[in-house]
């Protein structure tokens, strides 16, 4: 019923998009809350337009993007924000042949944003977020608690030296494909940009200050890492960039892990209609007396065809090393930062989890083969059908970061495969929508239950006011 209702609703608004709306639009783009895609790691600009250009480009909808604050409410004080409704249902995440676990939730969200700009050098930005999860269907008892999170709160000192920017407070860390970061962290961050070159240095920690304002007890951070990060980026051509990064993480609360990650990121266009991405990294350091020796690569191409509905074809491959001998003093597994989001778009208008919406693994001891096709019937409407095939580097009883409620047997490398359908729509000013269907087909690594798959359906409706 949910799928049918959303399909009919989407069909109606797609028809509505054909009516002319250009005369009602503001000069600022209403299609996204996301800063323009430069290198993805430069400090975001939350001015009146939040760093958005005045061009009519349609950027991919990023549900984690900070809202713009553009409505004047006092001297040098501006307000904005969004309200959204998120819904998700999943089935058989335990891969059982019985009815199994089923969860369905609806989450209304209200997120105002306030910006204070007394002059051209100073800027204060605050973005609290109120979330009210509602359990629609539950087999297991799980508490659904209202949260009032301090999502962002930072002070920016900018252009004292031309091109330089200093931010202090809780701020957003991202990269273009969310392979390293997709998290809001308490940090001191310094950035500099000169023409096509930019550099960034930062020290950060997750939840150094309590995030949920409605909790009396302090929150315990699972990782407890202090992150020392450096990034340098160079843009060339119209939409190409190459960047080098180094990240040293010092675990303060649990264990003694001290991984050091260095790598390269590049993306852009090889030809007018052929997009590419490449990211590779090596991680070294130590963890509980073991030496860390891991490597990873993620590479892919998207060909866009100059035809009606703008069809596209994508192929991709990602590989993170595993550990063939867990009993020696060397851990050969690649490990992501712990703050990654692993989300991007292909040629559509909506971001999605490019390692699988259902499995959603970390790139460790894993190979992911990806193929995708997409169409854009209208300029602000996209459909992406994506297929993933999963193999472990070495057979293991764990899948790092997996959302499944069961583990493989460790007797086979064949984890399985997944098919995802992602629909995005941005045709109505100030409104973004995303609809996702995903199904995971377990492989022989799950032994007797390999024929029982896991299913996910989710939607997001977000209305922005600015």
Worst-scoring range by mean pLDDT, 14-18, 22-26, 265-269? 22-26
Nearest to 188 by CA among 208, 210, 159: 208
pLDDT surpassing 70 at residue 153: yes
* The most confident of 92-96, 97-101, 452-456, by mean pLDDT: 452-456
Three-state DSSP string of 321-362: CCCCCCCCCEECCCCCCCCCCCEECCCCCECEECCCCCCCCC
Write down the pLDDT at residue 156.
96
Write down the pLDDT at residue 239.
85
Percent above pLDDT 70 for the chain: 82
- Predicted TM-score (pTM) of the model is 0.85
pLDDT surpassing 60 at residue 28: no
- How confident is the model over 293-307, as a mean pLDDT? 97
Q: Return d(Cα 449, Cα 442) in angstroms, integer.
A: 8
Residue, of 87 and 403, whose pLDDT is higher: 87
Banded pLDDT at 69 (limits 50, 70, 90): very high
Worst-scoring range by mean pLDDT, 365-369, 428-432, 448-452? 448-452
- How confident is the model over 128-155, as a mean pLDDT? 85
Write down the pLDDT at residue 2.
39
pLDDT surpassing 90 at residue 451: no
pLDDT surpassing 70 at residue 433: yes
Nearest to 381 by CA among 3, 6, 14, 9: 14
Write down the pLDDT at residue 8.
36
Mean pLDDT value across the chain: 85
Main-chain dihedrals φ then ψ at residue 136, nearest 5 degrees: -90, -35
pLDDT surpassing 60 at residue 427: yes
pLDDT surpassing 80 at residue 60: no
Banded pLDDT at 242 (limits 50, 70, 90): very high
Banded pLDDT at 259 (limits 50, 70, 90): very high
Write down the pLDDT at residue 127.
97
Write down the pLDDT at residue 62.
82
- Show Cβ contacts of residue 444 under 8 Å, excluding neighbours closer than 6 positions: 411, 412, 414, 450
Nearest to 449 by CA among 114, 138, 98, 154: 98
Banded pLDDT at 136 (limits 50, 70, 90): confident
- How confident is the model over 362-386, as a mean pLDDT? 96
Banded pLDDT at 4 (limits 50, 70, 90): very low
* pLDDT single digits (tens) 181-228: 999 999 999 999 999 999 999 999 998 998 888 876 655 555 578 999
Residue, of 376 and 137, whose pLDDT is higher: 376
- How confident is the model over 425-438, as a mean pLDDT? 94
Alpha-carbon Rg for the chain, nearest whole angstrom, is 22
């Amino acid at each position: 019923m949910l799928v049918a209702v959303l399909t009919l609703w989407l069909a109606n608004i797609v028809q509505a998009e054909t009516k002319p709306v250009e005369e009602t639009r503001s000069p600022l783009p209403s299609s996204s809350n996301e800063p323009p895609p430069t290198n993805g790691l430069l400090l975001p600009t939350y001015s009146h337009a939040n760093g958005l250009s005045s061009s009519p480009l349609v950027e991919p909808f990023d549900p984690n993007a900070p809202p713009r604050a553009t409505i004047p409410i006092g001297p040098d004080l501006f307000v904005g924000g969004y309200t959204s409704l998120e819904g998700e249902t999943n089935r058989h995440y335990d891969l059982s042949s019985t009815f199994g676990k089923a969860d369905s939730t609806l989450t209304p969200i209200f997120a105002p944003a306030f910006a204070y700009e007394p002059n051209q050098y100073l800027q204060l930005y605050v973005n609290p977020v109120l979330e009210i999860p509602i359990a629609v269907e539950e087999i297991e008892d799980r508490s659904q608690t209202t949260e009032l999170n301090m999502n962002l709160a930072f002070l920016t000192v900018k252009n004292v030296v031309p091109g330089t920017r200093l931010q202090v407070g809780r701020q957003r860390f991202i990269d273009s494909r969310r392979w390293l970061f997709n998290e809001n962290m308490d940090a001191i961050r310094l950035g500099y940009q000169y023409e096509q070159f930019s550099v960034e240095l930062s020290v950060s920690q997750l939840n150094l200050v309590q995030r949920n304002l409605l909790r009396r007890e302090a929150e315990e951070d699972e990782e407890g890492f202090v992150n020392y990060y450096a990034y340098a980026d160079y843009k060339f051509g119209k939409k190409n960039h190459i960047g080098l990064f180094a990240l040293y993480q010092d675990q303060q609360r649990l264990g003694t892990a001290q991984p050091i990650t260095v790598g390269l990121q590049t993306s852009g266009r090889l030809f007018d209609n052929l997009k590419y991405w490449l990211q590779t990294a090596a991680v070294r350091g130590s963890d509980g007396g073991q030496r860390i020796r891991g490597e990873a690569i993620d590479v892919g191409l998207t060909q866009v065809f100059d035809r009606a509905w703008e069809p596209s074809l994508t192929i991709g491959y990602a590989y993170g090393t595993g550990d063939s001998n867990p009993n020696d003093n060397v851990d050969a597994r690649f490990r992501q930062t712990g703050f990654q989001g692993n989300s991007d778009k292909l040629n559509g208008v909506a971001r999605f989890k490019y390692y699988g919406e259902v499995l959603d693994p970390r790139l460790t001891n894993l190979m992911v083969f990806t193929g995708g096709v997409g169409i854009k019937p209208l300029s602000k409407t996209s459909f992406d059908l994506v297929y993933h095939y999963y193999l472990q580097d070495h057979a293991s009883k764990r899948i790092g970061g997996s959302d499944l409620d069961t583990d493989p047997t460790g007797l086979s490398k064949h984890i399985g495969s997944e098919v995802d359908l992602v629909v995005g729509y941005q045709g109505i000013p100030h409104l973004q929508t995303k609809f996702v269907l995903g199904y995971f087909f377990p492989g022989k690594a799950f032994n007797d239950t390999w024929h029982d798959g896991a299913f996910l359906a989710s939607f997001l409706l977000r209305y922005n006011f600015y």
